[in-house]
Structure 1
Amino acid sequence: MALINSKYFFASLIILVALFGVGVEGTVHKVGDSSGWTMMGVDYQAWASSRTFQVGDSLVFEYNNELHDVTEVTPHDFELCDQSNPLARYQTGSDTVTLTKPGFQHFICGVPGHCDIGQKLDILVFPASLGPVAAPVPGPVRSPSSSMSPSPSPLADSPTNAPQFQMGPSPL
């Protein structure tokens, strides 16, 4: 009996992991790769176009906080490089922004002139993937001779009209 219970335990554990994940974390994207968040040498549009962003992912901005910041702005302010009405501002020099909702997100450097010469990033965040399809919950252990089709049973005419399955002898 302990063997059967452990089989159910491990099968259930596998199903729970498939459904909910263990420590489900998204991809970590270091903005600008080894160059980081800077105003020279990185085409952030090209950098972003080579990646897919999903809810649960995070962006890591690494930069010199004496020269730059990270300012999240609206699409309109992104186009104008206007940092005067930020949605969020990060200034530590090593900031992680977790992507929590699908849609476009826009980041600029709020230091005057930096956005105008290309220190800006807009990304499209997709909903989190659904992950693997869950396996069906295991039912009773059946012998090889048992059938998966419903068997006649006095309970077959029960109010639920649910199919009933016949169990074979225990393999133990």
Structure 2
Amino acid sequence: MGRKSSMTMATIFVVLASTLTTYASTTYTVGDFSGWQVPTNNSNLYDNWADNKTFVVGDNPLFNFITREHDVAEVTEPGYNACTTTDTISTDNKGPVKITL
């Protein structure tokens, strides 16, 4: 009987932890104060910005830009790896854009 209770408690803990992770999302403004722009002075702007962040499922990157000045394309993994927008999931040019990972 004690072993069954322990297993039940462990299962409940895992379910609760999974649920809490889902609700503990973080919104990141991409580029911080620089916003979403074409980097002119620093080609590593977004690489450097992302270096100290750990993104998890449920987080929300916020692309802050003026409508129709830029766009955000959500692409498949092959599209990302090929650095192309030919296989997009969605594209939005109405800023700001928030995407849930």
Q: TM-score, normalised by structure 2?
A: 0.65
2:28 partner letter: H
Q: Deviations over 1:4-50 (max 9, x none)?
A: xxxxxxxxxxxxxxx355x9231111101011110025611121121
Q: Deviations over 1:132-153 (max 9, x none)?
A: xxxxxxxxxxxxxxxxxxxxxx
Deviation at residue 60 of structure 1 after TM alignment: 0.5
Match of 1:59 in 2: 61
Name stretches of at least 5 consecutive residues in structure 2 with no aligned partner: 1-15
2:25 partner letter: G
For the 8 Å contact 2:68–2:94, the answer to whether it is kept is no
Cα RMSD after superposing both structures: 2.6
1:29 partner letter: Y
Structural mapping, 1:2-151, within 5 Å: 19=16, 20-21=19-20, 24-40=23-39, 41=41, 43-99=45-101
The count of residues paired between Structure 1 and Structure 2 equals 82
Q: Deviations over 1:38-70 (max 9, x none)?
A: 002561112112100011111111112322100
Deviation at residue 77 of structure 1 after TM alignment: 2.7
Deviation at residue 79 of structure 1 after TM alignment: 4.3
Q: Measure the CA separation in 2 of the matches of 1:66 and 1:91.
A: 5
Name stretches of at least 5 consecutive residues in structure 1 with no aligned partner: 1-18, 100-172
Q: Measure the CA separation in 2 of the matches of 1:63 and 1:30.
A: 11
Q: Measure the CA separation in 1 of the matches of 2:23 and 2:94.
A: 26
Deviation at residue 78 of structure 1 after TM alignment: 2.8
81 and 24 in structure 1: CA distance in 2 versus 1, 3 angstrom threshold: closer
Give the fraction of aligned pairs with identical amino acids, expressed as a percent: 34
Point out which structure has higher relative CO (alpha carbons under 8 A, 6+ apart): 2
Match of 2:6 in 1: none
Residue 97 of structure 2 aligns to a residue in which SS?
Answer: strand
Residue 54 of structure 1 aligns to a residue in which SS?
Answer: coil
Residue 51 of structure 1 aligns to a residue in which SS?
Answer: coil
Q: TM-score, normalised by structure 1?
A: 0.41
Q: Measure the CA separation in 1 of the matches of 2:23 and 2:81.
A: 34
